[in-house]
Chains A and B, each alone.
Chain A
């Protein structure tokens, strides 16, 4: 099909699966329609379509489509198939300006196949066409398919045609052109207005600046607006839009962590008061500083894009975990993908540049089985959020060639408003690069400002300020971004080559806030910069200067390149097909100076930009809540049935099906895999991997997250997640002494306001979590090396306020001297002895067992770090001596889930006498089995090792509680009385049959 549009000719190329072959995409969509929408559709066939706006003759078009279509399985034609039968067609293209990765790759293929490139003004757009055959479905049904299953109107252009529509009008042209409307004008703001008008101004522009912050800006310009140097660059007394946007983004909660730095007046439950000089400084940093005095392996903490610890003579380890919650709420796929490729850049841009080793992911979600009627308007169904988030992270990680090590999901209905999407990346930083320490970098006046990577569009504008707000009805749609892992992979390969050749001096992630964030930070190193926004490459014209500065278009890095190296840097970039642009230079003027062509559009004091933010002063009041205890279990309760029900709980069951779609073995480093056991269907306590293929030294990653404990007390929630991550590290063969921590706080808004009358309580929860973090990180000598907070996890969409429970993800990274001593949790041999180490207390508050009964209770698990450390050392000695055949540490679901997982993993049975489990006080059978007390292990050893093992555990709470048996049945006794008997096959079915 050829047509002429304006001056550019249009060519349509269409690629579809050969009719004799199975159309997997179409078949899967049919199945999904049946499962989710309850509709029966006969067949769906899919077509990939390329709409090319360029001079292209028929021979070339044919050559192109034949080179692209796979002749064994596909049919590629120029124009449109005219012989297909269908009743409905759904066409999904991209909205103007949205990144179209497939079309970008098409441009590459075009050049290779035809031997000439497409001109810059030539355009290619990709779209997908779904041809639905079933006369029974209505337009409404098809709309449901399009909007609920296939496409997102925030990023996609969606067209639905009936057969008749198509016959009458034909297919529409896929021509998403960005309207060139805005021009490059710069606006100024008169801030000499009443305070309320200042607040309105902030709201209107999504600046997310408070009254006090607006007043600080007003005051600054009142005093310095008419300074001579400002006049000299041609600016008047009022701030420009570039300046206010720059301030708003730099001062955003996302970037400045205002709540974590706030002065807090804290009142305890007994009325005692104290003033906290910032949670970050008083608790997190302080703990790390104190631990740093006694451990020698902290290399770089809290100062770079990620934390760095020592590993061996050749390498340091780098680790960062990020959240990407708000973008994932609006577009789960794009939000999660940019989450994972975004945190990749953090690790990549640490020190002089790290290589990427292993990803981690974890999601807090509402149940995918939530009834439609319980989902507020304007919020996506949790099932769709879950599927989209997984797919985004799967494709982002897999296509980047980075395996994942740890992945988990946690479910609670309060994550329906905003899901939490955690993504992290471990990197390897050479200890020495070009004779300099790998962690060092600097910027000197005269170094060039260089942007590397993709082009700038309106993508993600106001991402940083938007994520600093609740999710509301008017949340900006341009905050949605699409990732392109391949562009980033090309960029990171290029950067590693440039690093090894010493072609740059400084590297910084271009993430939240885009250039405003990265260049704003970098300018502090040399104390000034002059940046020309007109030199930034754009995807399309019509961006205002402030939009160029703030755009969060993905896959970009900001660098400082010495002028002497710029030619070599540019040449290498060209050879690697990576776009770079020189945007100005760093200087020591003390100013953040931005020009557009030859006029100045911003001239801000760096000192005011970074230090002018008024500090928050907040109030926190702690009151212990009360949660009723459930009635005691009946004596004749069906324990076996309860066990099966527990194993099928969303927070206990296996998530293997989704996890299998993430590559965990690329690079060949995986030692203890994310899922273990004979059927590879039980999640490991922690993962172990080597730093190089065939290596002996390794890294252990573990994590702990228990949001429900926060309902009782965030202090013990925090103690528990730290203990959980540490003991999981021990369980796979780790040892205390070389373990680093990362804190990721996700909180509901804790600032008192009309919308948040319980702010002082939520802030007290934050204070208590931080107090515990200070205590327990010191007790375990696990310093935090990096962290992140996300403080506005509330939603008011659909007229219903949903706030997440206060959530702390505690992640650990430990060095392991010899990975060949690692251990997995599955039981290995019948006849082995089963031991329980550690004390079980009546600690069922916040447990899964209580949640099953609809209760919270009050007895939240606590941590006794002194005895725990002794136990952890003893377990480490036992694993070092290779005494243990399997080790597992129970968590959610308690001993019951723990024994079950070990049995499922080994496909063997266990005989366990519950009366032998070491307890504190009098506990019922249910309490022993379902208490979630911390610092416990289940261990199996060979009978022949009994004596030496018991000697090692002599002074610690331990007991042999049973044996592994060949008969695959999990049997619990209390003394000699049989309590329950469940086939391992039934446990496994319950355990693996829930989540798809």
Chain B
């Protein structure tokens, strides 16, 4: 029987991680539709056919007016109410890299007090001023409501961005985020596991080493690193070494993020005893 959970990957206008994100979700066992943003917006009601929507990585509209800005404006203008219905019905949203930037512009994360569509955090230009592609080590917050990071401790993933420095609109927002454990993943020093305050382990200067956050429901998750770029154990930069040392994992560790989402959706939206 095909999996009843359905996932949507939105494509077009410079987004570019559709193939690997689709592979990730398919590997978790669900049906995935890749739909061009304009096709989606022409009939925004179709959004409700899905249980998981992925805002993927890329350069939507070239990031010309700031990362995620144009995409967020278009989504808000043409699909705002449908998206609101989607999230208030408890469905899952993941935003990766450009998708995370877009979620912050839309105000879907952190949405403190479940106040959605109000922007309170941003991804500022990296402290270096430069785009950077390297691997970082993340530590997941076990106390976070985030359903995507459940059961994961340390997670190595690549980052690829020029605007990934997490900042909040004010100190109160940051304090609330921390207090409510909405910080789902942090950059850490791989040797100690401690939050990374300096380059290169904190690759962009993010405040409190924040790499990804969720909303209070834990069902909307945005992060800068790319779990969909670590689906194969052979994607890790040191796999040739891991192989010799006998520590090569069986699958890429980024897969766990998607597996978690799909497992949750199955349990939540479909009674397992059916």
Instruction: Point out residues on A near B: beta carbons under 8 Å.
Output: 21-22, 24-25, 27-28, 67-74, 101-102, 104-106, 108-109, 112-113, 115, 394, 398-401, 484-486, 489-490, 493, 575-577, 660-668, 670-673, 676, 678, 680, 690, 692-695, 819-820, 822-824, 826, 828-829, 885-886
Contact = CB atoms under 8 A, between A and B. Distances in A.
B100 interface: no
B38 interface: yes
Given A24-B128, A694-B252, A695-B232, 19 more contacts: A21-B167, A24-B124, A25-B125, A27-B129, A68-B66, A70-B122, A71-B119, A74-B66, A486-B62, A490-B14, A575-B38, A660-B132, A661-B133, A662-B133, A664-B133, A667-B20, A668-B231, A824-B240, A826-B240
Given A668-B232, A671-B235, A72 B13 contact: no
Contacts of A575: 36, 38-39, 42
Interface in B222-247: 226, 228-232, 234-235, 237-241, 244-245
Given A489-B14, A668-B229, A102 B64 contact: yes
Given A109-B70, A109-B73, A826-B241, A694 B27 contact: yes
B229 A885 contact: no
A109 B65 contact: yes
23 contacts: A68-B65, A71-B169, A72-B121, A105-B61, A109-B65, A109-B73, A394-B131, A399-B62, A401-B17, A486-B14, A486-B61, A490-B14, A493-B11, A575-B38, A576-B36, A661-B130, A666-B57, A671-B234, A680-B134, A692-B23, A694-B231, A820-B234, A826-B241
Interface of B: 11-17, 19-20, 23-24, 27, 36, 38-39, 42, 57-59, 61-66, 69-70, 73-74, 77-78, 104-105, 119-122, 124-135, 158, 160, 167-169, 226, 228-232, 234-235, 237-241, 244-245, 252
A819 B234 CA distance: 8
B237 A676 contact: yes
Contacts of B120: 72
B109 to A, nearest CB: 13
The list of the 8 closest CB pairs from A to B, nearest first, reads: A401-B16, A72-B122, A668-B20, A105-B64, A486-B62, A28-B129, A693-B23, A24-B129
A864 to B, nearest CB: 30
Contacts of A21: 124, 167
Which of A106, A108, A680 has the most C-beta atoms of chain B within 10 angstroms of its own C-beta? Answer: A108
Contacts of A27: 129
A854 to B, nearest CB: 36
Nearest to B159: A665
A667 B38 contact: no
Summarize B's interface: helix, strand, loop or mixed: mixed
A73 B38 CA distance: 29
A493 B131 contact: no
A666 B229 contact: yes
A12 B235 CA distance: 47
Contact of B160 (A665, A672, A824): A665
Contact of B14 (A102, A401, A661, A690): A401
A486 B13 contact: yes
A485 B127 CA distance: 25
A109 to B, nearest CB: 5
A102 B65 contact: yes
Nearest to B101: A70
Contact of A73 (B23, B124, B126, B234): B124
B240 A398 contact: no
Nearest to A485: B62
Nearest to B75: A112
Contacts of B240: 672, 676, 822-824, 826, 828, 886
Contact of B17 (A666, A676, A690): A666
Nearest to A732: B240
B249 to A, nearest CB: 13
Nearest to B244: A828
Nearest to A103: B64
A828 B64 contact: no
Contacts of A664: 133
A394 B252 CA distance: 27
Contacts of B125: 24-25
Contacts of B244: 828-829, 885
Nearest to A577: B38
Given A665-B235, A819-B234, A106 B126 contact: no
Given A70-B66, A401-B58, A693 B231 contact: yes
Contacts of A69: 66
B132 to A, nearest CB: 6
Nearest to A673: B237
Given A105-B65, A668-B228, A398 B59 contact: yes
A663 B167 contact: no
B19 A693 contact: yes
A24 B127 contact: yes
A462 to B, nearest CB: 28
A69 B124 CA distance: 12
Contacts of A105: 61-62, 64-65, 70
B126 A24 contact: yes
B137 to A, nearest CB: 13
B59 A486 contact: yes
B205 to A, nearest CB: 9
Contact of A25 (B129, B169, B231): B129
A70 B62 contact: no
Contacts of B69: 67-68, 70, 109
Contacts of B168: 72
B124 to A, nearest CB: 5
A492 to B, nearest CB: 11
B202 to A, nearest CB: 15
A580 to B, nearest CB: 16
A665 B132 contact: no
Question: Which among A70, A663, A826 has the greatest number of chain B C-beta atoms within 10 A?
Answer: A70
B122 to A, nearest CB: 4
A112 B70 contact: yes
Contacts of A823: 240
Contact of A22 (B16, B42, B61, B127): B127
B12 to A, nearest CB: 6
Contact of B122 (A73, A398, A670, A672): A73
Contacts of B19: 667-668, 692-693
**Residue among A104, A662, A673 facing the most chain B CB atoms (10 A cut-off):** A673
Given A70-B105, A71-B169, A668-B232, A576 B12 contact: yes
B176 to A, nearest CB: 15
A666 B129 contact: no
Q: Which of A21, A660, A666, A690 has the most CB of B within 10 A?
A: A666
A886 B57 CA distance: 34
Given A105-B70, A575-B38, A828-B240, A665 B133 contact: yes
Contacts of B226: 665, 668
Contacts of B39: 575
Contacts of A74: 66
B119 A72 contact: yes
A555 B130 CA distance: 26
Contacts of B70: 105, 108-109, 112
Contacts of A399: 14, 59, 62-63
Given A24-B126, A822-B240, A112 B73 contact: yes
Contact of B77 (A113, A398, A484, A577): A113
Contacts of B228: 668, 693
A449 to B, nearest CB: 27
A576 B13 CA distance: 8
B131 A661 contact: yes
B230 to A, nearest CB: 8
A765 to B, nearest CB: 39
A398 B167 contact: no
A74 B66 CA distance: 10
A102 B70 CA distance: 11
**Interface-centre pick from A69, A105, A485, A667 (highest chain B CB count, 10 A):** A105
B29 to A, nearest CB: 14
